[in-house]
Amino acid sequence: MTKLIDELKTQVHVWYCDPGDVQDESKLAAYESVLSEREVQQYRRFQFDKDRHSYLVSHALLRYSLSQYADVNASKWRFSRNEHGKPELISPHNMQGIHFNLTHTEGLSACVVTLEKPCGIDAENKNRNNKLEAVASRMFADEECRQLNKNEIEQMFFCYWTLREAYVKALGTGLSGSSKEFYFDINMDELKAVIHHRNRQQAVDDNWQFRLYEPTAEHVLSVAFKSDNPAEVKLRELIP
């Protein structure tokens, strides 16, 4: 575990799984037992079994992933939320240098964990492709829309979408202003992206780094993290 903490000094870790791989009732009961009272209430509030299952596995994944870094039971992690709803670690106190973020979509749950680096993560299932062009024209900058016209729209759309979501989640402040006020340049060969702001006074993002992945054939996943130095991103599959 100490080794993993040491690795976080120069790495960013992404833990992921397919919630559908977890069907054992005793294991699911164990997952529910480690959630906080608030999480259990949210879990039971979902109307559909599929949504409940995804929530349960995802939040268990986060807790068991954090326990890879310290001798802390998965049930002992305590979180708060800022005014915009971003979860933050409050206990154990000696682990508060840890940053994390969680995402789940159909067929995939994933969390990112860093040390002293604000971070965000987002994933989407590429089969959810209703009205992509209409959404892009409403949400994406002109520079991004032009790239969509030059490339396979499904692939590029979900790259831009997850990059935006990961960035906003990493900021933890919500999206103020139009989403067209910034745009991404994507290097598909290196699976990296650079952000550009139209208002240079808002361009405090020179030290934000972005990575793109396809953890499965059906999913696009983006990671955003703030660091003055390059960091290697490591993806690890983990069944909680």
Q: pTM for this structure?
A: 0.94
pLDDT of residue 103: 98
Instruction: Look at residue 204 in the predicted model and tell me its pLDDT.
Output: 54
Closest-CA residue to 18 (of 127, 102, 107, 110): 107
Q: In percent, how much of the chain has pLDDT > 70?
A: 95
Tokens of 211: 């990575």
| High-pLDDT (> 90) share of the chain, % | 78
C-beta neighbour count of 42 within 10 angstroms: 15
* pLDDT tens-digit map of 29-45: 999 999 999 999 999 99
Cβ(86)–Cβ(102) under 8 Å? Answer: no
Kindly state the tokens that stand for 80: 């708060």
Task: Read off the pLDDT of residues 11-67 as tens digits, 9 standing for 90 and up.
Answer: 999 999 999 999 999 999 999 999 999 999 999 999 999 999 999 999 999 999 999
Q: What is the pLDDT of residue 214?
A: 96
What does CATH list as the number for 2-237?
Answer: 3.90.470.20
Burial of 130: CB neighbours in 10 Å, binned 0-12, 13-18, 19+:
exposed
Query: End-to-end distance of the chain based on CA atoms, in angstroms?
Result: 16
Q: 77 or 173: which carries more pLDDT confidence? A: 77
Q: What is the mean pLDDT of residues 148-168?
A: 89
* Alpha-carbon distances, residue 151 vs 156, 168, 188, 204, 222 (angstroms): 7, 25, 11, 30, 19
* pLDDT, position 153: 85
Find residue 135's DSSP bridge partners. none
- 113 pLDDT more than 70: yes
* Cβ-contact 226, 206 below 8 angstroms: no
Burial of 61 (0-12, 13-18, 19+ CB in 10 A): buried
Q: Which of 80-84, 105-109, 216-220 has the lowest mean pLDDT?
A: 80-84
- Measured over all CA atoms, what is the biggest interatomic distance in the chain, rounded to whole angstroms? 54
